[in-house]
Amino acid sequence: MKTKYSFREARRITRKHGFHTEQEFLDYDCPGAYGVQKDVANMYSDEWRGWDDFLGVPPSFQEGKAYLKGQGLSSIDAYMTFLKANGENEDSISSRFPCKPDKFYKEGWQGWNDWLGIG
């Protein structure tokens, strides 16, 4: 089946819509609004890494903490620099991290040191 967009283009378009779940994406019905076909997992099977990646869903609090622990970040400024440096790489989980994790992860938040794995 011929695709209208490359995987990267389709993912970029879809992420801009702010879907949080596969079902939201599948239920969205606005002809001509974005033109990304619904069978994306099969269409892009070689590049497919799951719905969270495709939709741009931030990692869970625990997944984010575990990932950051190995990054050696020691401050809020270091975290922001990390986001800027890695945020452009849409293939990296880093592109899905919130810039204000203290607001995004209200439940479970225990401070920046905990989030960054310091101490």
Q: How far apart, in whole angstroms, are the C-alpha atoms of residue 40 and residue 111?
A: 38
- Return the pLDDT at 17: 87
Q: How distant, in Å, are the alpha carbons of 5, 15, 78 from that of 12?
A: 10, 5, 26
Q: How far apart, in whole angstroms, are the C-alpha atoms of residue 47 and residue 91?
A: 10
- Per-domain residue ranges of the chain: 7-55, 61-116
Q: How far apart, in whole angstroms, are the C-alpha atoms of residue 111 and residue 81?
A: 18
Residue with tokens 């869970």: 60
Q: How far apart, in whole angstroms, are the C-alpha atoms of residue 108 and residue 87?
A: 24
Q: What is the pLDDT of residues 45-86, one digit of tens each?
A: 999 999 999 999 999 999 999 999 989 999 999 999 999 988
Mean pLDDT calculated for residue range 23-28:
91
- Return the pLDDT at 111: 96
- Return the pLDDT at 31: 59
Could you tell me the pTM of the whole model?
A: 0.79
